[in-house]
Structure formats: structure tokens, C-alpha cells
């Protein structure tokens, strides 16, 4: 694997936004903020506190206007992603960063934001399992894997898949040994107490309950995707 010269300083940043799912961001932060010879920046539309879907308030380091070019842009998801799907300041930021970044790394429905910014055309990608059917509207081929690499676009599945994805990103940046060291530090040796973590393994009543709860946001995401497709390919 060709990693980057360890003497090359890397700037890694995350776009955070209201009603995101904080774990899409904080999971990857754990590994990505510890990449040797790097700086991690938390970036938002402006510099006020950003409130996640469940009320966690995070202070960004910088506004999108003041952010430097990043080597890696992390784009988390969560319900709040929907409110940004026509926000040109945000989409333009993602697009501009993507044009020179080494990697764009989406977690969960952060992939849809990348899609709305035009980054998924012709790409293989993944997202939260409830939103997989939305990906084709953005020209992407949905891949039912936890982490998908397609050139400079790396996508991870729902929420906690970002942790797996972040270790993959670290290995691409600094090699497998560095990723393994971070995995050991993070004690990432999961022993899930239940086996309901994916639609394939969850009990049917659990799958039905969670799918139903996501119905409204899923419908909205589909409609947004349809509108995007119509605009691009009228």
C-alpha cells in the first residue's frame, strides 16, 4: 500500500452541522485526531455551538469560510443532513474541498450530502441501511459493505461503521501499523452484547420497529434524491 510520506503534515477536518448524529463524527474523531503528524479541525457553517440530534453541543474550531484546504474531509450524517441538501454554501464547501482533498470520507447519511455535492456520480458507495435505496439518485452504486473505497471517495455505513471506516482511512494515510496501534489504544475489539446490529441479523420485530421509526425521514430522503436526479437528468 502506498501511504503518504510520514514527513508530510496532514490536515484532517470534519464538517459538523445541526441535528447531525454526533457518533458519525465523534467515532472517527477518535482515530483521525490521533494520526501522526496531522492536525484535526472541526468545521461548521459558523462558529457557534452545534447541537446534535440528541442535544450534545459541540464547539467547532472554524467556519467553512475560514477552513483551509483539507487532506481528508469527514462528512457525518444524521437527520440534519436533509436540511443541507440544497444549501449551496455547504455543498460548495464539500465540492471545493473534494476537488483537492486526498480523501472524502462519508459516514452514514453523510454520503447523501456528498451525493448532493455531486461526488457520487459513477461511484460505489454505502450509507445507513435505511438510506441505501437513495444512493442511485446520486449516480452511485449502493454496496452493502461496512466500508467502501472508490478512488478518493470512502464511505462507511450507519453510525458506528464510521469507526471501522476511520481505521481504514488511517491505514491509507499512514499504513496498517499506525491503524493497528490506534485500534489497540481504542480497545476496538467489539463484543456486541446482542446480535441486532444489521437488518440481516436483527429479530424481525426489531427490524420492523426501527424501519417504521425511520419511515418519515427515509421518504423525505427519497424525494430529495428524486428531485436531484430530475434536475441533473431532466
**Interacting residues toward a copy of itself by CB under 8 A:** 21-23, 26-27, 29-30, 33-34, 40, 42, 49, 54-59, 61, 108, 128-129, 146-147, 157-161, 163-164, 167-168, 171, 176-177, 179-181, 183-194, 196-199, 201-203, 205-207, 209-210, 213-214
CB of 230 to a copy of itself, least distance (A): 30
d(CA 226, CA 25) in angstroms, rounded, equals: 27
Distances (CA, A) of 115 to 85, 132, 134: 9, 12, 10
CA angle 178, 184, 187 (to 5 degrees): 145
Q: Where would I find the beta strands (DSSP E) of 122-221?
A: 124-125, 141-142, 147-150, 153-156
* Cell, residue 91: 455543498
Active site residue 108: yes
Name the residue nearer to a copy of itself (CB basis): 88 or 215: 215
Nearer to a copy of itself, 51 or 96 (CB): 51
Identity of the residue, 164 or 228, whose beta carbon is nearer to a copy of itself in the bound complex: 164
Given the complex with a copy of itself, which of 57 and 219 has the nearer CB atom? Answer: 57
Say if CB 110 and CB 75 are below 8 A apart. yes
Catalytic residue among 10, 20, 101, 108: 108
Least Cβ distance, residue 200 to a copy of itself (angstroms): 8
Q: How far is the CB of 166 from a copy of itself (least distance, A)?
A: 10
Q: Which residues of 126-139 are buried (b: 16+ CB within 10 A; e: fewer)?
A: bbbbbbbebbebbb
Could you give the CA distance from residue 140 to residue 229 in angstroms, rounded to a whole number? 11
The nearest distance, CB 232 to a copy of itself, in angstroms, is 28
Nearer to a copy of itself, 38 or 91 (CB): 38
Q: By CB neighbour count within 10 A (0-12 exposed, 13-18 middle, 19+ buried), where does 34 fall?
A: middle
Nearest distance from C-beta of residue 221 to a copy of itself, angstroms: 15
Catalytic site positions: 108
Amino acid at each position: 500500500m502506498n501511504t503518504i510520506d510520514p514527513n508530510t503534515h496532514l490536515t484532517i477536518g470534519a464538517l459538523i452541522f445541526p441535528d447531525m448524529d454526533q457518533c458519525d463524527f465523534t467515532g472517527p474523531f477518535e482515530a483521525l485526531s490521533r494520526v501522526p503528524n496531522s492536525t484535526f479541525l472541526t468545521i461548521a457553517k459558523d462558529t457557534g455551538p452545534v447541537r446534535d440530534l440528541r442535544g450534545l453541543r459541540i464547539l467547532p474550531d472554524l467556519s467553512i469560510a475560514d477552513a483551509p484546504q483539507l487532506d481528508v474531509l469527514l462528512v457525518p450524517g444524521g437527520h440534519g443532513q436533509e436540511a443541507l441538501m440544497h444549501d449551496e454554501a455547504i455543498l460548495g464547501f464539500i465540492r471545493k474541498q473534494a476537488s483537492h482533498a486526498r480523501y472524502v470520507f462519508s459516514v452514514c447519511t453523510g454520503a447523501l450530502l456528498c451525493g448532493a455535492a455531486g461526488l457520487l456520480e459513477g461511484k460505489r458507495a454505502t450509507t445507513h441501511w435505511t438510506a441505501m435505496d437513495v444512493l442511485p439518485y446520486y449516480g452511485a452504486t449502493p454496496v452493502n459493505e461496512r466500508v467502501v473505497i472508490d478512488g478518493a471517495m470512502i464511505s462507511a455505513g450507519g453510525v458506528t461503521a464510521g469507526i471501522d471506516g476511520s481505521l481504514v482511512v488511517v491505514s491509507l494515510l499512514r499504513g496498517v501499523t499506525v491503524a493497528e496501534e490506534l485500534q489497540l489504544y481504542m480497545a476496538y475489539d467489539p463484543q456486541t452484547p446482542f446480535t441486532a446490529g444489521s437488518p440481516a441479523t436483527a429479530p424481525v420485530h426489531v427490524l420492523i420497529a426501527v424501519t417504521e421509526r425511520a419511515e418519515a425521514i427515509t421518504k423525505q430522503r427519497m424525494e430529495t434524491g428524486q428531485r436531484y436526479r430530475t434536475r441533473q437528468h431532466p
